Amino acid sequence: MATFTQADLVGYIRQAAGEDEGFDLDGDIADITFADMGYDSVAMVEVTLLVERELGIGLPDDDKASKNSTPKQFVELVNELLPASI
């Protein structure tokens, strides 16, 4: 994986936190906060821990990985930290 994408993130969200049947994660969600999608702080911790473990990176305690961030911000943060060799 050279670049972490929104599709990658959606897969991790589904695996770690599940999917609200009332919200389409496959839609245009880039600028919608995780809180508005129904994910609380605990869900985002689960997603963050899974991404860190799977990709071998450490995400900072940053607003970009919180329930008040957006998928676009989360993806940008991961890509900033991802080693070029992955």
Print pLDDT tens along the chain (86 aa). Answer: 579 999 999 999 999 999 888 789 999 999 999 999 999 999 999 999 999 999 999 998 877 788 899 999 999 999 999 976 55
The domains of the chain, with CATH numbers, are: 6-81 (1.10.1200.10)
Kindly report the pTM of this predicted structure.
0.89
Cα–Cα distances in angstroms (integers) from residue 22 to residues 7, 25, 33, 37, 71, in the given order = 19, 10, 15, 9, 18
User: 3-state DSSP: the chain helix, strand, coil percent, rounded to 5?
Assistant: 50, 0, 50
